[in-house]
Chain A
Amino acid sequence: MGSFDERRVIRTTLTLPMDGRFLKVGRSWVRRVARLAKLGLEQTEALVLAADEAAANILQHAFEPGEEGQISLSMEIGPVAVTLVLKDQGLPFDSAIQPSYHGPEDGQVSRRGLGLHLIRSSVDRVQWYNHGKEGKELRLTMLRPTRSIADQLPLEELTPYVESQSRAPDQSYQVRLFGTGRTSQLRQEAIQVARCAYRTYGYTYAHESLYYPYRIIELNRNGELISAVALTEGDTPEVVGHAAIERPDQGRVAEIGQALVVPAHRSRGILERLVGFLEGVARERQMLGLWATAVTVHSYSQRVTEKLGYRASGVALGLIPASVTFKRFEDQAPPHRENAVIYFKYLEPPPSAVVHAPRHHLPILEEIYAHLGVSVDFRQPLDCLGPGRVTATEIGPLRCGLIRVFQVGSDTAAEIRRALADLREIARTQVVMLDLPLSDPGTPWACQEAEQVGFFFCGLGPHFSPEGDVLRLQYLDSGLGIGDPQVPSPFARRLLEYVLAQRQRVAGARDARG
C-alpha cells in the first residue's frame, strides 16, 4: 500500500444523517483517517474535536426541527496538510443569533460561541464558504508538523543580517526556478531560502511557509508557489535571493512577493532579475497579470515595485497584521495593522473591460483604468433578479477575511451581511475585503448595500475573479488605527486620499442613520 508521503492528495468521504447519535461515528472516522494520514496524537484529537464541534453546530442550527438532511465529511490528505471539509445544505449560519465567546469568567457561555472558539483553536486554518441555496462548506486545515528553520539550524547560523555588513565581492549570479538544480541539493536549497528569510525578517514574516523548508519544497511541487532563487556561481552555489508567485487557486492572475535579497549582495539588480524571471515564467503559463502589495510604513517597497513597472490600483487599510515588523525600519514599527498599496502589472496587452461601475465611484475607476492602460466600456446598472452566489473565506497568513461575490442576486445583500458577521465571529478577523464583479450589472446596487454595513472603497482588482475585474471594498473594525501612511507616488497618494475620504463618508452616513 502506498505511503501518505506520496506527492498527491488523497480524498475520502463519509456521509452522516442529521442525527446526534452519529456524532461519535464521525469522530471515529476522523480519528482513524487522521492516524492513517500520520498525524500525531495531539493533532488527531484536535482535528476530531474541531470536526465534532462543527458537526454539532450544523446539527443544532442548520436544519429546522424534524427536517431531514445530511452532513458530508471529506478529508483531503496531502503532503503539506490534512484538510477536513464539512458540507451541508441547511440554513445559512446566522451568527447574529449567538454572542461571541469570551471565556467562562463572565458566566455567560453560548454553546455556539464556545464551539466556534474550540474549532478556531484546534486547527491551523478555517475557511468558510456560503454557497447560498447550495449550502455551506467549512474547511478545517491542519498543517503537517514539520521543522522550521529555527529548529534545524543552530542559532549562530541564524543571526540577523547586518545592514552595514561588508559587500560581497563583485560576481555574477544565476537566477532560476527553485529546485531545478541538482536533485541532491533540493533540500539544501530549501534550507538556504528559509535561512535567508529568517535572517532577514526574524520570525515575523506573515507568510510562515517561508520558514519551513519542507513546505517550500511541497508548495513548489504542487504549484501553489512558484519560487525563483538567485544563487552565486561556482561549485557550491549559495542562495542570495528569493521571490515567488503565490498561486493557490491557479488563476490567471496571482500575487508576486516573498522577495528578499541578502544585504551583502544588494544593489546588483538581483531583485529585478528575480521578478523579471518570474514574469517570464508567468507568461509561459499564460497568466494575464501579477499583483503585489507594498506596505506604507516606509516607501522603499513602493518605489521598487513601481520601478519594476507595477501600477497602483488600490489601497488596503490594515491589510498586514501588526506582528509583521521590518528589521530595517524597526524604529518605525507600527503598533497596529499596517496599510498596503496594491499594484498590478499586465503581462500581455490588457483586454478591454465591460464595467458596471457604481455611479459615485465611476470617476476614480476611470482614473485607475486609465492608469493601468485598459480601455473600458462603462455600462448602466440593472436590477438583479434571482439568487446570487457568494463565498466567504479567511486569508490565512494575513488574518483577513475575504468575501467574493461571483454573481449578484436579490439575496446578495443579506449574504454579504451574513458572511461579514461569520468572518468577524468565526475567524475573528478585524479586516474584511469584499470583491464585487464589475462585469455584473448588479454590482452598483450590491456596492451601495455593502457600504450601508460599513464597507468602503479599496480599489480595482484586475481579473481577481474568474468573471473578470472586481471592485474591491474593505471593512475595518472600528477603532483599528491606520497610522501615518508614507505614500510618495502621486497616483498612489491620490488613491489613498480617495480611500480615506470614502471611509469617512461611509462612517458618517452610518452615524447619520443611527
Chain B
Amino acid sequence: MNVSISTDTPERCTVRVQGEVDAYTAVDLEKALAGPLESKATRFVVDLSRVTYLSSAGLRVLLHVHQVLEKRGGQARLFGLVPPVRKVFEMAGFDRVLRIVGSSEEAAGD
C-alpha cells in the first residue's frame, strides 16, 4: 500500500492511496495522515481510485480523518471508489457519514 500526500493550498491537501488497505497496512495510512491532520488544512481530497481492497481498518482511519476535520469545520471528500470498496462502505453504513463524490473535480471544488 502506498500513500502520497500533496499540499494544494494551506487549507486543502490531496491524499492518494494505492493498493490494499487492511489491518496491517492501515497503520501506515494512519501514520501518513497524522502530520496533515495536525496542520491547519480543513479539506482533504482523498483519491481512492487505485485502492483495490479496503477493510474495516481502513474505514476506521477514514472515519477518524472525517471526525478531526469536522471538528474544525472542515471535510474529507472521497472519490474513485471501485465497486468492491464502495460495497464495504455501504455495508458499514459509512456512505451515509463520509462524503463520497463522483470525481476529483467535485472533491476539490467548493
The yes or no verdict on A and B being binding partners is yes
Listed in ascending order, the chain A residues whose CB lies under 8 Å from chain B are: 20-21, 23-24, 27, 42, 45-46, 48-49, 52-53, 56, 59-60, 103-105, 107, 109, 111, 114-115, 117-118, 121-122
Beyond A45-B87, A114-B59, 16 extra complex contacts between A and B, CB < 8 Å: A23-B24, A27-B22, A49-B84, A59-B23, A60-B23, A104-B93, A104-B94, A105-B93, A105-B96, A107-B67, A109-B63, A111-B57, A114-B92, A115-B55, A118-B92, A121-B91
Would you call A111 and B56 a contact (CB within 8 A)? yes
Whether a CB of chain A sits under 8 angstroms from the CB of B79 is no
Within the assembled complex, what's the spacing in Å between the Cα atoms of A436 and B98? 47
B99 within 8 A of partner (CB)? no
**Cα separation A104 to B88 with both chains bound (whole Å):** 13
Q: Encode contact with A along B72-107: 1 for CB under 8 Å, 0 otherwise.
A: 000000000000100110011110111000000000
Contact A56 B91 (CB under 8 A): no
Number of B interface residues, CB 8 Å? 22
| B24 engages A45 (CB within 8 Å) | no
Asked whether B40 is an interface residue with its Cβ less than 8 Å from the other chain, the reply is no
- Cα of A217 to Cα of B50 in the assembled complex, Å: 43
Taking a contact as CB atoms under 8 Å apart, the answer to whether A111 and B87 are in contact is no
Contact between B63 and A56, CB atoms less than 8 A apart: no
| Contacting residues, chain A, for B20 (C-beta < 8 A) | 24, 27
Are A109 and B60 interface neighbours, CB within 8 A? yes
Interface of A is mostly: helix
**Nearest-CB distance from A110 to chain B (Å)?**
9
A53 engages B24 (CB within 8 Å): no
Residue of A nearest to B67 (CB): A107
Is B53 an interface residue, CB under 8 A from the partner? yes
* Residues of the B chain whose Cβ atoms lie less than 8 Å from the Cβ of A23: 22-24
Complex contacts, B55 vs chain A, CB 8 Å:
49, 52-53, 56, 115, 118
Nearest CB in chain B: distance from A104 CB, A: 4
Q: Are A27 and B53 in contact (CB under 8 A)?
A: yes
Of B22, B57, B91, B96, the residue contacting A122 (CB under 8 A) is B91
**Chain B: CB-nearest residue to A24:** B20
Q: Is the CB of A104 within 8 A of B63?
A: yes
Q: Are B63 and A53 closer than 8 Å at their CB atoms?
A: no
Contacts of A42 in B (CB 8 A): 87
Question: In whole angstroms, what is the CA distance A323 to B88 when docked?
Answer: 27
CB distance from B33 to the nearest CB of A (A): 16
Query: Beyond A49-B55, A105-B96, is A20–B60 a contact (Cβ under 8 Å)?
Result: no
Name the residue on A nearest B23 (C-beta). Answer: A56
Residues of A close to B97: CB separation below 8 A = 104-105
Inside 8 A of A104's CB, which chain B residues have their CB?
Answer: 63, 92-94, 96-98
- Can you report 11 A-B residue pairs in the complex whose CB atoms are below 8 A from each other? A20-B23, A24-B22, A27-B20, A56-B55, A60-B23, A103-B92, A104-B63, A105-B93, A111-B60, A114-B92, A118-B92
Nearest-neighbor residue (CB-CB) of A52 within chain B: B55
Complex CA gap A122/B91 in Å reads 8
1/0 per residue, CB under 8 A from A, across B28-57: the answer is 000000000000000000000000010111
